[in-house]
Chain A
Amino acid sequence: MKQEELAALLKEIIRDEKRILTDKVDLYSYSYDASFGTYLPDIVVLVMSTTEVAAIMKLANKHGIPVYPRGQATSLSGGPLPVHGGIVLDLSKWDDVLKVDAEDMVAVVSPGVLTADINDAALEVGLIYPPDPSSSNVSTIGGNLAENSGGPRGLKYGVTKDYVIGLEVVTPEGEVIRTGGRTVKNVTGYDLTKLIVGSEGTLGIITEATLRLYPKPQATKTMMAVFDDIVDSGKAITKILSSGILPSKLEIMDNATIQAVEAYEPLGLPVDAEAMLLVELDGHPAAIDEEILRVEKVCKETEARTVKVANTSEEANELWRARKLVSPAIVREKPTKISEDATIPRSKIPDMFQRLKEIREKYNIDLVVFGHAGDGNLHPNIIADKRDKEEMRRVEQAVEEIFKAAIELGGTLSGEHGIGTLKAPFMEMELGEVGLDMMKRIKESWDPNNILNPGKIFPQPGQRLVLTNG
């Protein structure tokens, strides 16, 4: 269908013409996310209600037009990319509902509400919304739900799916359904809520969510431990967790990361150390005062070179500053960052580090490793320049090997970024032919005309990892 015809049909649904974008500059502005590739949609629509979404889905389903739901496009896996053109459905401006109910300990939100705003609203009544993707000041809850986002606090509190108890969803055929409800316990029928969360916008469009909230921890305590041997840091991680302590965050930075940060802003980091751990405990002040001593002891027993406990919140911020500077620090020499999130069982962290070291040498790439060590969710980041085609080909091969390594060690392709376009070619490697086919059957029964976010999760025949723009 031509753009003008489509626009005319959409105008019957969306009366406010400002919410239908057709100019070339607009189409280019909705052609990307934070991953790779540029795909022009035919039209962009800013939706503000369930009625609008349902009507658009009916229209799209009737005419076989692809629909790509989009939040603020912070996706690192290509979730909102309009790979087959069609309609980009921007839900990020639909943020009118953010209701916190302190008695039921839930928040009801519209899809465009920013993740951090939910936590801020919860804090006002002494509660928290724990999932904390690093993009939480920018990302919408709709995007978080679609991708089942995680974050550093995932170790103790779990990820987005652990906090969703009810959804309103518009199906690909334009029907409106409600899943789950307002209670923590609910076993009525299939758990469609959990099926929709993390389905990357391929099964339905989330138009409202009911989220669980938690009591705000009274205090936090931060500690940094430096290791000469990365294997020792791995031992420290498992020993801390098996000693009956569950930190709220347990982050690791490898030598390359430490060096990059120190070169970017001298903080006095140990540039010769192989690894650095940052541990945060939260809970009752008396309890964490005692626990931090035990964590300190474990680190020393596992050959930590130095251990530093922050006594004040300023000191804690200073320790976390090193972790915060990782992003700008690693792209100082070359601009392109390929951020992976292959995740392994935590006992395999030392093995994964070894495999990553081999991959770095084999393909001669700039690879830094940091991330949420406590739950095995490492972030190997390859730094490159996407204008350098030869380098990018090496990077593509290295990324493939990282995925293989993670799966061989009993892990998974993606801990929190999602499959999208980038990892689709590797799905069968992890799930097997039948496993992937069962997923595909679910997709086909929900979306018989394959109009909702087509081109994601499931590989096209012969699809390979591509990180260059042709």
Chain B
Amino acid sequence: MAELAYEETFDCVQCGYCLPACPTYITMKSETHSPRGRINLVKMAAEGKITYSELEGPIDLCLGCRACEVVCPTNVQYGKILESAKEAIQHHKKESKTMTKRAKLFQDFVFDKAIPNNKLLQTAGSGLALYQKSGLQTVARKTRAINLLPGKLRTFEKILPNVEGPIERRSRKEHYPAKLRPAFRIGFFTGCIMDTMFSDINTKSIKLLQEAGCEVTVIKEQTCCGALQNHSGETEITKKLAKENIQAFEKYDFDYIVNSIGGCGAQMVEYDKLLADDPEWASRAEEFARKSVDISVILGQVKLPFVKEISKVVTYQPSCHMTNVQKRVQEPLELLKKIPGITYMELPQKNMCCGSAGIYNIVNYEAAMDILDEKMKQVEKVSPEVIVTTNPGCHLQMKVGVEKEGLSDQIEVVHIVELLTEACGVE
């Protein structure tokens, strides 16, 4: 329990090929905040040369984007080393009581109870919708009451998406039949944050899949994917959630379990790794991981009924977890290029993380904004009209970037599904 992945650190030959791929190495300019540095520090902690609390800083500042894994010539399992460090640090904090009781209670509540709990999140989401729709948002902005918020929260307040109200969301059905014989039978994974902040993207995803000839079912028993908990070292909670999801979906005969969330998708394709040591669950987790795909994979295989030209300059900021963990690089791109009228411009250094990384941009605000500044330098080289994303975290972060640069009236940030529904005339 909570052991550092010490043996895995020996796979690193310290060649340094990961350095140019690491966003925090670029912005923080020190080996301590590089993949090679962090792997070495995990080894040093396991050997007792540094303490867990000394290890905590460099580990917390890692985005977990895993771009280093892709360029590593010796296939070091960085994700495993990182997660082991997070779990061990978390465990150590609880054991040694360096974490205040309140912080621990709060964290346990958020990860174990709040995020996986739909009702709680929906209530929060409804509050957000009410805030936006009642005009309070405008009032707050106009009266500058908003400026009383600390800088980082203010930044995010401005770019919050328009959330579907409780009535719209409750109107979502459980079953969306295909018109003809279904191309694929799909179990749709909604995600929890996604279904609160961006439930309209989920709704559009479902309709698009249906329009493209798939039968879509949204099962009620599904729960949170566990990614955020895993990134915070709460591996046991993630395992519990994974099992709940596996159990929920395996009762049905789905061809695929589809999601529109790069980060959740990455966690789910790694359920097999997560549960590999659990004989009762290993093969069931493998089956789940195998069926779990991003929506772009399915939409690439069916015929989309395009009806409208989108005559805009579009660029794409890939989600790191989509690229480095799910390894879906071509699928979203090919879909984009199919849209009639589109001018696709590749974003230079597109595989560099935008700094969102789950809740990184909230927890490590300054570090995340430095990374975002690097990202926006590249965006300006392309000057797109639309930035396409495939993950809610990246979506919000890119909106922050556009807002920070004062480009909100020139650049629109959308999920790929939004652009596709528009081009297909799906309401």
- Which positions in A face B, CB cutoff 8 Å? 21, 23-26, 28-34, 44, 46, 72-74, 90, 93, 114, 135, 137-138, 327-328, 331, 335-337, 385-387
Q: Please tell me if the beta carbons of B17 and A328 are within 8 angstroms of each other in the complex.
A: no
Which residue in A25, A32, A335 is a CB contact (below 8 Å) of B55? A25
Interface CB pairs A-B, < 8 A, 29:
A21-B30, A21-B32, A23-B32, A25-B55, A25-B57, A25-B58, A26-B31, A26-B32, A28-B40, A28-B41, A28-B44, A28-B49, A28-B50, A29-B31, A29-B32, A29-B34, A32-B14, A34-B15, A34-B16, A46-B30, A72-B16, A93-B29, A135-B15, A137-B17, A137-B20, A138-B16, A138-B19, A138-B20, A335-B74
User: Apart from A23-B54, A29-B34, A135-B15, what 9 extra A-B contacts exist at CB < 8 Å?
Assistant: A25-B32, A25-B58, A26-B32, A28-B49, A30-B31, A31-B40, A74-B16, A138-B16, A327-B74
Contacts of B58 in A (CB 8 A): 25
| Min C-beta distance of B231 to chain A, whole Å | 21
Give B10's nearest chain A residue, CB to CB. Answer: A335
In the complex, which residues 317-338 of chain B have their Cβ closer than 8 Å to any Cβ of chain A?
none
Give the shortest distance, in Å, between A463 (CB) and chain B (any CB).
Answer: 22
Interface residues of chain A: helix, strand, loop or mixed (majority)? loop
Contacts of B44 in A (CB 8 A): 28
Known: A24-B54, A135-B17. A29 touches B11 (CB 8 A): no
* Residues of chain B with a CB closer than 8 A to A33's CB: 14
Q: Most chain-B Cβ atoms within 10 A of its Cβ — which of A25, A26, A31?
A: A25
A90 CA / B34 CA spacing, docked (Å):
15
Q: What is the CA–CA distance of A336 and B14 in the complex, to the nearest angstrom? A: 10
Number of A-B contacts (CB under 8 A): 78
A335 near B19 with CB under 8 A, answer: no
Asked whether, in the complex, the Cβ of B74 is within 8 Å of the Cβ of A328, the reply is yes
User: Counting CB contacts under 8 A, is B75 at the interface?
Assistant: yes
* Cα separation A42 to B334 with both chains bound (whole Å): 52
Q: Taking A21-B32, A328-B73, A331-B13 as contacts, is the C-beta distance between A29 and B40 under 8 angstroms?
A: yes
Chain B residue nearest in CB terms to A36: B14
B30–A72 touching, CB < 8 Å: no
Residues of A within 8 A of B41 (CB): 25, 28-29
Cα distance, A34 to B12, chains bound together (Å):
10
- Nearest Cβ distance between residue B81 and chain A, in whole angstroms? 13
The answer to whether A387 touches B50 (Cβ under 8 A) is no
The interface residues of chain B lying within 8 Å CB-to-CB of A25 are 32, 41, 50, 54-55, 57-58
Q: Are A135 and B10 in contact (CB under 8 A)?
A: no
In angstroms, Cα B18 to Cα A72, docked, is 11
Instruction: Let me know if B40 and A32 touch, CB within 8 A.
Output: yes
Q: Does B10 contact A336, Cβ atoms closer than 8 Å? A: yes
B37 contacts the other chain (CB 8 A): yes
Q: Mark B47-60, 1 if CB is under 8 A from A, else 0.
A: 00110001101100
User: A34 touching B30 by the CB < 8 A rule?
Assistant: no
With A and B bound together, what is the CA distance between A28 and B75 in angstroms? 23
Are B55 and A331 in contact, CB atoms less than 8 angstroms apart?
Answer: no
* CB-defined contacts of B15 to chain A, threshold 8 Å: 34, 74, 135, 138
Across the interface, which residues of A come within 8 angstroms of B19, CB to CB?
Answer: 72, 138
Contact A331 B50 (CB under 8 A): no
**Could you tell me if B20 and A34 are in contact, using CB atoms closer than 8 angstroms?**
no
Q: Which residues from chain A contact B14 at a C-beta distance below 8 Å?
A: 32-34, 73
The number of chain B residues with a CB under 8 A from chain A is 27
Question: In the bound complex, how far is the Cα of B350 from the Cα of A23, in angstroms?
Answer: 33
A73-B31 in contact (CB<8A): yes
Taking a contact as CB atoms under 8 Å apart, the answer to whether B30 and A29 are in contact is yes
- Minimal beta-carbon separation of B374 from chain A (angstroms): 14
Q: Are A337 and B32 in touch, CB under 8 angstroms?
A: no
Complex CA gap A28/B36 in Å reads 11
Q: How far is the CA of A28 from the CA of B41 in the complex (A)?
A: 7
B 73-88 to A, binary, CB cutoff 8 A, 1 in contact else 0? 1110000000000000
Partner of A135, one of B16, B29, B32, B75: B16
Interface string of B230-251 (1 = CB under 8 A from A): 0000000000000000000000
Look across to chain A and name the residue whose beta carbon is closest to the beta carbon of B12.
A335
B-chain residues with CB within 8 Å of residue A28 when the two chains form the complex: 40-41, 44, 49-50
Contact status of A331 and B11, CB under 8 A, knowing A25-B58, A26-B32, A29-B32: yes
Counting from the closest, the 7 A-B pairs by CB-CB distance are A29-B31, A29-B37, A29-B32, A327-B73, A74-B16, A335-B10, A34-B14
Cβ 8 A contact of B13, one of A24, A73, A335: A335
Near A by CB (< 8 A), chain B positions 57-102 give 57-58, 73-75
Contacts of B16 in A (CB 8 A): 34, 72-74, 135, 138
Residue among B15, B31, B49 having the largest count of chain A Cβ atoms under 10 Å: B31
CB distance from B72 to the nearest CB of A (A): 8
Please give, as numbers and ranges, the residues of chain A lying within 8 Å of B74 by CB-CB distance: 327-328, 331, 335
> Which residues does chain B contribute within 8 Å of A337, judged by CB atoms?
13
- CB proximity of A320 to chain B, nearest CB, Å: 15
Chain B minimum-CB-distance residue to A76: B15
Partner of A387, one of B10, B11, B32, B37: B10
* Nearest residue, chain B, Cβ from A28: B44
| Distance in Å: Cβ of B381 to nearest Cβ of chain A | 15
Smallest CB separation, A186 vs chain B (Å): 34
CB distance from B28 to the nearest CB of A (A): 9
Q: Give complex CA distance A337, B75 in Å.
A: 14
Given A29-B41, A331-B74, do A24 and B50 touch, yes or no (CB 8 Å)? Answer: yes
How far apart are the CA atoms of A30 and B30 in the complex, in Å? Answer: 9
Residues of B within 8 A of A46 (CB): 29-30
- How many Å from the CB of B18 to the closest CB on chain A? 8
